[in-house]
Amino acid sequence: MLSGHPWKLNPVINGQPPDYPFTEIPELPEGYTWEDILYVIGGYNWKARFVNLEGYIITNPPGETGDSEYLNQYNFANPIVGSDAGWVTYNSGVENKPYDCGGCHTTGYNPRSNQDDLPGLIGTWAEPGIQCEACHGPGSLHAQNPMGVALKIDRDPEMCGKCHRRGDVTEVDASGGFIQHHEQYEELFQSKHLTLNCVTCHNPGSVDPESTNTVNMSTMTHNIHAGALGGTVRDGGRYYIVGFRSTVYDYSNIRWTQDLRNCQTCHEESDSNTPQASNWRTVVNAEACGSCHHSNVDFVTGENHAAGASTDDQCSACHGPNSTFANGALRAEVVHKVPTVEAGRRFQFNVLSVTNTAPGELPVVRFSVTDPTAGNTPYDIHTAAPFTRCAGGASRLFVDIGWSTSDYTNVGSGFNPGQPVQVNVLNACGGSSVNNGDGSFTATSPVAVPAGQTGSLVAALEGHPALDADGNGTIDRIAVRNAVRYAPITGSLVPRREVVEIARCNDCHNQLSIHGNNRTDSIETCVICHAPGATDVNRRVAGSACDTALGLDDSTIDMKVMIHGIHAANYSACGFGNMPHDYSGVIYVGRLNNCEGCHKPDTYYPVDATRVIGTTTSANDPTIFTDDVVTSPNTAVCSTCHTSVTARAHMEGNGGDYNAGKDASGRMVSADLETCTLCHGPGRAQDVKTVHRIGEFAVYNVRDND
C-alpha cells in the first residue's frame, strides 16, 4: 500500500504498537508506554501523534499540565527537504486537547456523540483511518463480486478537496517557503490543473517510455479499440502500455463491440457536449488514421499507399472534407461508411397482419419487404435477386410464430426445446409463401395453435437479403431490422412485456445483428427463441467441438439469463454447427450494476415468480417439459452476477430454487416461492435501484437524465 490514507488513525490493541508497512515508531513521548496509548494519529512516513486512554491528544507529560516545551510529536526523516527524524512540540501544555479530526481521518464518521463514550473522542466512526469506503462508497456488493460490481470512482479533485484543504480555497497559506499541510486542493485550485481531463496528460508529445508506444489521446484510444487488429506497428504490432506500478496493459486481444468504421459512435457531432466531434473527418493525419490503417500501410515509405510517401499536410488533399479527388470518394466520411449497413437501408421488413390464431387454427401471416429509399416499393421475394441467392444460405427469410406473450413456452410447436414454429417463405430456396399480387405475401403455419393455449401469440419476420454490398465480387448477407406483430389467441391482445430497448443495446453495438445477420435490432424477436424453456441440448453432440470444449451437459439459452451471463463473463453455450461459445473472457465496458445500461427505467425489479417462468437449466428429454431441471426466475438472473456461496444461500433462504421442475405446459413447479420483492422491491430496505446505485451513472443514463 503506497498510500497513507488507511493509517491516519491506528488503534493500539493489547498494548502492541500498530504494524506499518514501511515505518516503525522508535519510541513514545517521554513517560508513556504502549499501555497508555489508545490510538496513534498517523505514523506512516511523515509524523505521529498519540491519543491517551480518555481519547485526548497527548500534549503533556503523564499527570502534568502546562508544559509548553513537551516533545509529543515524532517526525520521520524527510530527505526531500533535508530534515532529520526527531521529536517536536504540538500544542504542548494544552490541557485535554480533544481528538476532533474524525471527519477526515476515519470512515463512516458521525459528528454526534463520542466514540467508545470517551470524552476526548469527538464523534463516532465505523472504522479508524481512511478506508476504501470513505472515498468509494459502500463496498459489500463489490467484496462479494469484485468483477461484477464496481466501486464508485470519483475523479473530481473537489472530492479530494473535502479534506485536503484549509479554509478559503482561493488563498494558499504558507510560511518559511512551505504551504501548511492539508492545502493540496488550494494549490490545485490556483493552478491550470483545476479542471483535469484526459488530454492534459495524453497530449501529442506523450509516450510510454517502456513500450515506446504513444499515449496521445487520439492515437491511444484508436489503438485500444482496434486492439485485436494489432495496434500501432511497434513491438510486432502489439499495442500495450506499462502503467502505474509497472503494470502491463495489453490491448492486443480487445475486440470492439461494433464495426471500427463507426467513428461517430464516439465522435457524436449531434451532441453539443462532445468537443471537436467532427475531427474524425476534418482532421486527417498519419498518427490518428494509422492507428487503424497500420497492417499494410507505411505512410513514410509509401508502401501500400496509393499516393506514395505522404506527410500530414498532404492527407486532406484526398481524405479531407472538401477533397474533390476521385469525386470525393476518398473523403473520410465516405470511406468510413459500412457498405452492408448502407445496403441495408434499402430494405424494410413488414408484418402486415396475423389472422387465424384461435386454438386449433393454423396462423396466417401477411408480410412484405419494401425499399424505403424508393418510396417503399415492394420487393417480389419470389424473383428479386437479393432473395433468390440460396447457395450457402445467402438469401434467407423466415416467419417465426411463438406463444404465449406472457412468457414464451412455445409448447406444441414441434420445435424443441421451447422453440417457435419457423416457416421458410422464400420459394426459390425451398420455402413456401403466396404472392398476393399487391406487393405482399402470405405464409401459413404448418402447426396449429394448441387446443388449450390461451393469451396472445407473436409473428416475426427475420432473415437477410443477399447482394454484393462493396463490389468485391463476394455476396454479403445484409442485416435488416426484424419486424413483429402480435395477435390474440383468446381474449384481448396482450403484447410481450418490454423491459429493455434496442437503442440501449446499440449504445455499444451500433447495430446488433447476430446469428449470421438473421436476427437484427429486435429484442422482441430474440426472446421468441431464447425462451425460459430453451437450452442448447440439441447442439451438445458427442464428439463435436462443443463436446470437447464444454461437455454434453446442456446450458440454458433463456434470454434473461444468457444476456446477464454474457456481460458478467459467466456464461457459455453451444451454437450453430455444434460450436462452443465461451464468454468467460468478456469484459463489459460499462458498470454491471448499472441496470439502466440496458433496462428501461424501473424495469429491473424482482418479477412475480407466479407469472414469469423459471429457467430450464437441463432439458433432459427436449420433447417434454416435465423432466426439466429449473431455476426460479429471480434467482436465475441475479445469480449470474452474484455468484458467491453466501449469495446462493441468501437466495435459497428467501425462496430461490435451483432444483425446481416444470409441468406439461412449461410452468415452473417449486415447493418454494421467491420473496425478493419484500426487501429488493421499490422503496424497500434494499431497493435494487438504491443498492445498485442506479441514477448515479449520468454518463450511462443520459437518455433518462436529460
Model pLDDT for residues 545-573, shown as the tens digit of each residue = 999 999 999 999 999 999 999 999 999 99
Taken in order 108, 113, 117, 122, the sign of the CA dihedral is positive
- Provide the mean pLDDT of the chain: 90
Residue 224, pLDDT score:
87
Provide the CA 668 distance to its chain's centre, in angstroms: 31
Q: What domains appear along the chain, each with residue ranges and CATH number?
A: 5-135 (no CATH), 207-250 (no CATH), 263-337 (no CATH), 342-496 (2.60.40), 537-691 (no CATH)
The DSSP secondary structure of 185-216, one letter per residue, reads HHHHHHSTTSS--HHHHS-TT-B-TTT--B--
DSSP state of 281: H
522: preceding bond cis by omega (within 30 degrees): no
Model pLDDT for residues 233-289, shown as the tens digit of each residue = 444 567 889 887 688 888 888 888 999 899 999 899 988 888 889 999 999 988 888
> By C-alpha distance, which of 437, 439, 425, 436 is closest to 371?
439
pLDDT at 494 over 80: yes
- CA 332/CA 317 separation, integer angstroms: 11
- CA 87/CA 188 separation, integer angstroms: 31
Model pLDDT for residues 370-401, shown as the tens digit of each residue = 999 999 999 999 999 999 999 999 999 999 99
Cβ neighbors of 464 (< 8 A, separation 6 or more) are: 395, 396, 397, 477, 478, 479, 480, 516, 517, 518, 520
Residue 292, pLDDT score:
78
pLDDT at 706 over 60: no
DSSP state of 314: H
- CA 239/CA 612 separation, integer angstroms: 46
pLDDT at 115 over 50: yes
Residue 295, pLDDT score:
62
The tally of CA atoms less than 13 A away on the side-chain side of residue 297 is 17
Q: Using an 8 Å Cβ cutoff, are 411 and 351 in contact?
A: no
- Phi/psi zone of residue 15: left (φ > 0), alpha (ψ -120 to 50 degrees), beta? left
Residue 374, pLDDT score:
97
Residue 679, pLDDT score:
95
> By C-alpha distance, which of 667, 292, 678 is closest to 452?
667
Please, which pLDDT band fits residue 137 given cuts at 50, 70 and 90?
confident
Phi, psi of 112 (to 5 degrees): -80, 150
Helices (H) and strands (E) in the chain — how many of each? 21, 34
Maximum distance among all Cα pairs of the chain, rounded to whole angstroms: 108
Phi, psi of 466 (to 5 degrees): -135, 135
> By C-alpha distance, which of 374, 598, 322, 369 is closest to 478?
369
- Tell me what percent of the residues of the chain surpass a pLDDT of 90: 67
What is the average pLDDT across 635-653? 93
Question: For residue 456, what is the enclosing H or E element?
Answer: strand 456-464
